[in-house]
Amino acid sequence: MSYALYDDLAGLRTWRQNELALRRRIRDAIVERVESTARDINRAWTFEEVQAPLMMPLERMSSAYTSDDVFMLRDAPGGTKEWAMRAETTDGTYCAAVQILRTTSVKAPLCVWQMGTSFRRELNDGATAARLRFNAFTQLELQMVHYADTTADIAVPIREALVPLVGRLTGLETRLVASDRLPSYATETIDIECRLPDVPESASEDARWREVASTSRRTDFPTPPGYKPLKVFEIAFGMDRLVALANGTL
């Protein structure tokens, strides 16, 4: 698997060429599966990749994160505001989606997606290779923006399409399971989990399965002026975990 080369700090990894290539192949397979499934339901879907900044104002982060959870910047670029390395990619993708809807001819339904690095201190859970939890980690996130009154459901078909794909990519039994945490911004959160190999049946459920993705029906998208209310179906993959599981290296 990847190397921990800075004083053997497990939460910071150096990735090799074959792992980077595998990450890109997994990314492309996931995006293609989501796009093809969405367009089978509605040909009007537009997909656009973006790349948002790695740093952001602390005030724009989810309230779930505090200065204890994130890496604060001592020399902030934004005047008097507190800035930090992003803890997740969501806000950057949201900002890009709003700007696209406001300033271009692209309309909803719109999926804006990106793959990039996020940063967390992980003081509670520990950034350990064994748990596939790192201080700097790669996320693949798709924000599927649609009208709130849309009758066609995209969440269920996309989830059902992703389960066999993840199983094929990792070679592991894969399932959907209701998350044990429901964020305030979501009406439903369903995780995608893989069954870890060589773990006895007597082990706890947490020890036998590992979450690789979270999917949520979100209600916090900032609808631009002039638009009917918009909602989001979010898909967020932990790409480092997928690479490790696909390689069979834990």
Mean pLDDT, residues 34-41 taken together: 98
108-144 pLDDT, tens digit per residue, is 999 999 999 999 987 555 556 566 778 999 999 999 9
pLDDT of residue 201: 75
Provide, rounded to the nearest whole percent, the portion of the chain with pLDDT above 70: 95
Measured between alpha carbons, how far is 234 from 250 in angstroms, rounded to an integer?
Answer: 27
CA-closest candidate to residue 120, choices 154, 69, 73, 158 = 69
Measured between alpha carbons, how far is 249 from 172 in angstroms, rounded to an integer?
Answer: 13
User: When comparing pLDDT for 194 and 67, which is higher?
Assistant: 194
196-216 pLDDT, tens digit per residue, is 987 877 777 777 899 999 999
- The yes or no reply on domain 17-52+89-247 and CATH 3.40.50.1860 is no
Given a cut of 80, whether residue 16 has pLDDT beyond it is yes
Measured between alpha carbons, how far is 146 from 218 in angstroms, rounded to an integer?
Answer: 11
Which range is least confidently modeled, 42-56, 69-83, 169-183, 229-243?
A: 69-83
Residue 168 — very low, low, confident or very high, per pLDDT cuts 50/70/90? Answer: very high
Given a cut of 80, whether residue 194 has pLDDT beyond it is yes
Domain boundaries, the chain: 17-52+89-247
Measured between alpha carbons, how far is 234 from 216 in angstroms, rounded to an integer?
Answer: 5
pLDDT of residue 126: 52
Distances in Å between the alpha carbon of 130 and those of 3, 193, 212, 238? 13, 16, 14, 15
Mean pLDDT, residues 93-122 taken together: 96
Mean pLDDT, residues 152-159 taken together: 97
User: When comparing pLDDT for 93 and 122, which is higher?
Assistant: 93
Angle between helices 155-170 and 239-247 (to 10 degrees): 40
Given a cut of 50, whether residue 250 has pLDDT beyond it is no
Mean pLDDT, residues 146-173 taken together: 96
Mean pLDDT, residues 144-150 taken together: 96
**Backbone Cα Rg of the chain:** 18
Provide, rounded to the nearest whole percent, the portion of the chain with pLDDT above 90: 70
Which range is least confidently modeled, 1-5, 8-12, 166-170, 199-203?
A: 199-203
Measured between alpha carbons, how far is 239 from 137 in angstroms, rounded to an integer?
Answer: 8
